[in-house]
């Protein structure tokens, strides 16, 4: 069959159209193949949103979310597994130093991990975000286009509530050679602090110079509610150089005030609710060793949960009283119970978990027990120990008693 000329022209036109259509189709297919993860409804050209994602309300789990990103911005990050530097070229979070401008170049980017979504990057800082702190988020959109947004979590609006609960020794009278103080707080305290926030004032309100021992390791109990303050024992001990040069921190017959500053930050970073002051009077130094023979022991009756009570002729160190005194059976088995101190640490009471039984018991006293001036059993703080340094010391002594 032969075609007429107009038919031929028409079929050629159709062929050209078909080829053109084919090319367009191939091009479209290739485009889809090269960029297979381009999602429908791409938001190219829309302005990105930068915000803090804090779903759990937990600053330590806060994230920075950048949404509405054009596909081109993210493509370098999709090409291969990005390094930290690759991520930070696109999204960089920095801390804004107080009273300084954003994006200062000398500050390193905040460490954390990045995750890529369809049109978003989520940055999870390694240590969360501090409430109230301002962070600069700089986004590189390519082609020299950069945007920086300042983000921050709301400052915690919590009122200061931690107080100094009490200070041991609780007595208003202390010896001139007082060795240590325990400051008890109502809630856990922060990591900074210590001696910077404790002062000793004399009767005229003047600060006593360097009365405390500057320790490198600050001495806290496990939950950071008790802080130990040592009076500089160089100044406490006679004949020791600081004592000779500066005298003791405390002088007999005078009154002193211990001041704990309100500025001491607690575990929440908040100051104390109020300043703490305790005034005490200083009496002559105590240079006698402890003598258990002078202790009065009140023994409870059998079948009761009444406390065993020891009364001392002077206050002892509260911290040591709570662990250096205990009760065991005559056979040495520890008796379970709770110790307490009373009457300005002149009394130690031990309430047993199970009722006392008829029989022999003993009070176990570790020889580390001390009074307020560091005197131990049979050994005063001032004693010259040169000739006896090699002698092995008894770790504990026991005082027998009988329950009937």
Partner 1 sequence: MRSTSVKLILALVLALISAGTPTAAPPPAAPSAAPAFESIGPLTFAPDGVLFAADTQAATIYAIDLGNAATGGAPGTQTVASIDRQIAGLLGTDVREVAVTDLAVHPKTRNAFISVMRGQGAGAKPVLLRVDGAGKIDIVDVAKLKATKVTLPNPPNVSGGARSPQRVQSITDMAYQDGRLFVAGLSNEEFASKLRALSYPFTAADNGASVEIYHGSHGQFETRSPVYTFVPYKVKGETNLIAGYLCTPLVKFPVSSLRPGGKVMGTTIAELGNRNRPLDMVVYKKDGKEFLLMSNNSRGVMKIPTDRFGDQAGITKPIDDKAGIAYETIAAMKGVEQLDLLDEAHSLVLARSDAGALNLQALPLP
Q: Which of residues 344-363 bind partner 1 (CB under 8 A)?
A: 350, 353
Which CB sits closer to partner 1, 101 or 245?
Answer: 245
Q: Identify the residue among 12, 254, 296, 323 touching partner 1 (CB under 8 A).
A: 323
Whole-number CA gyration radius for the chain: 38
Closest CB 153 distance from partner 1, rounded Å: 11
The Cα–Cα gap between 49 and 231 comes to: 57
Binding mask 48-77 for partner 1 (x = CB under 8 A): ------------x-----------------
Q: Tell me: does residue 128 bind partner 1 (CB under 8 A).
A: yes
Segment contacting partner 1 by CB under 8 A, of 13-21, 74-82, 216-224, 251-259? 216-224
Strands (E), 35-188: 49-53, 63-67, 91-95, 112-116, 121-125, 134-142, 145-152, 164-168, 173-175, 180-185
Write out 203-267 in H/E/C secondary structure.
CCCCECCCCECCCCCCCECCCCCEEEEEECHHHHCCCCHHHHHHCCCCCCCCEEEEEECCCCCEC
How far are the Cα atoms of 44, 65, 75, 119, 240 from residue 116, in angstroms, in the given order? 16, 10, 10, 8, 67
The Cα–Cα gap between 321 and 343 comes to: 13
**Of residues 218-247, those binding partner 1 (CB under 8 A):** 219-224, 226, 228, 230, 233-234, 237, 239-242, 244-245
Which CB sits closer to partner 1, 142 or 214?
Answer: 214
Which CB sits closer to partner 1, 228 or 261?
Answer: 228
Cβ(326)–Cβ(363) below 8 Å: yes
Segment contacting partner 1 by CB under 8 A, of 9-17, 37-45, 170-178, 388-396? 388-396
Cβ(109)–Cβ(93) below 8 Å: yes
Closest CB 42 distance from partner 1, rounded Å: 32
Two tokens at 220?
């806290």
Q: Tell me: does residue 389 bind partner 1 (CB under 8 A).
A: yes
Q: Identify the residue among 116, 320, 380, 397 touching partner 1 (CB under 8 A).
A: 320
How far are the Cα atoms of 26, 67, 139 from residue 42, in angstroms, in the given order? 22, 12, 19
Two tokens at 386?
């040169």
Which CB sits closer to partner 1, 48 or 59?
Answer: 59
Q: Identify the residue among 91, 110, 153, 198 touching partner 1 (CB under 8 A).
A: 110
Q: Tell me: does residue 37 bind partner 1 (CB under 8 A).
A: no
**Of residues 257-316, those binding partner 1 (CB under 8 A):** 265-269
Closest CB 251 distance from partner 1, rounded Å: 20
Segment contacting partner 1 by CB under 8 A, of 3-11, 144-152, 198-206, 318-326? 318-326
Instruction: Please provide the DSSP assignment of 143-163 as one string.
Output: TTEEEEEEEEPPPP-------
CA–chain centroid gap for 328, Å, is 37
Q: Identify the residue among 97, 156, 357, 402 touching partner 1 (CB under 8 A).
A: 97
Strands (E), 305-384: 308-311, 325-329, 337-342, 347-352, 359-366
Q: Identify the residue among 210, 287, 306, 314 touching partner 1 (CB under 8 A).
A: 210
Nearest residue to 181 (alpha-carbon basis) of 230, 148, 142: 230
Closest CB 202 distance from partner 1, rounded Å: 20
Q: Tell me: does residue 131 bind partner 1 (CB under 8 A).
A: no
Q: Tell me: does residue 121 bind partner 1 (CB under 8 A).
A: no
Closest CB 224 distance from partner 1, rounded Å: 7
Which CB sits closer to partner 1, 70 or 107?
Answer: 107
Cβ(68)–Cβ(100) below 8 Å: no
Two tokens at 49?
């949103």
Size of the site for partner 1 (CB under 8 A): 90
Q: Tell me: does residue 105 bind partner 1 (CB under 8 A).
A: no
Q: Identify the residue among 94, 138, 249, 375 touching partner 1 (CB under 8 A).
A: 94
Q: Identify the residue among 63, 90, 121, 125 touching partner 1 (CB under 8 A).
A: 125
Closest CB 186 distance from partner 1, rounded Å: 14
Which CB sits closer to partner 1, 37 or 395?
Answer: 395
Q: Tell me: does residue 91 bind partner 1 (CB under 8 A).
A: no
CB within 8 Å of 184: residues ≥ 6 apart: 164, 165, 166, 167, 168, 225, 226
């Amino acid at each position: 069959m032969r075609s007429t000329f107009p038919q031929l022209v028409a079929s050629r036109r159709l062929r050209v159209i078909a080829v053109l259509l084919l090319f367009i189709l191939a091009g479209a297919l290739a485009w889809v193949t090269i960029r297979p993860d381009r999602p429908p409804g791409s938001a190219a050209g829309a302005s990105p949103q930068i915000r803090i994602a804090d779903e759990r309300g937990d600053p330590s789990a806060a994230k920075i979310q950048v949404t509405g990103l054009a596909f081109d911005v993210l493509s370098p990050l999709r090409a291969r597994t990005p390094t930290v530097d690759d991520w930070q070229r696109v999204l960089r979070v920095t801390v804004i130093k107080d009273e300084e401008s954003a994006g200062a170049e000398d500050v390193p980017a905040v460490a954390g991990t990045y995750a890529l979504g369809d049109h978003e990057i989520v940055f999870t800082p390694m240590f969360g975000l501090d409430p109230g702190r301002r962070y600069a988020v700089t986004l590189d959109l390519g082609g020299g286009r950069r945007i920086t947004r300042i983000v921050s979590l709301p400052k915690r609006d919590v009122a200061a509530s931690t107080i100094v609960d009490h200070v041991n020794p609780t007595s208003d009278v202390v010896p001139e050679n007082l060795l240590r103080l325990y400051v008890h707080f109502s809630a856990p305290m922060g990591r900074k602090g210590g001696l910077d926030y404790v002062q000793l004032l004399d009767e005229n309100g003047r600060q006593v110079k360097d009365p405390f021992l500057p320790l490198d390791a600050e001495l806290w109990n496990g939950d950071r509610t008790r802080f130990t303050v040592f009076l500089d024992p160089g100044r406490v001990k006679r004949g020791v150089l600081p004592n000779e040069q500066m005298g003791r921190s405390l002088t007999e017959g005078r009154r002193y005030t211990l001041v704990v500053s309100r500025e001491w930050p607690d575990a929440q970073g908040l100051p104390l609710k109020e300043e703490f002051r305790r005034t005490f009077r200083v009496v002559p130094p105590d240079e006698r060793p402890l003598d258990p023979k002078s202790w009065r022991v009140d023994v409870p009756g059998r079948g009761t949960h009444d406390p065993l009570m020891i009364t001392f002729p002077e206050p002892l160190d509260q911290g040591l009283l709570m662990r250096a005194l205990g009760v065991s059976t005559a056979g040495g088995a520890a008796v379970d119970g709770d110790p307490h101190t009373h009457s300005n640490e002149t009394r130690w009471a031990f309430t047993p978990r199970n009722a006392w039984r008829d029989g022999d018991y003993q009070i176990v006293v570790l020889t580390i027990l001390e009074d307020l001036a560091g005197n131990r059993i049979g050994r005063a703080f001032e004693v010259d120990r040169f000739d006896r340094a090699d002698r092995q010391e008894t770790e504990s002594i026991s005082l027998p008693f009988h329950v009937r």
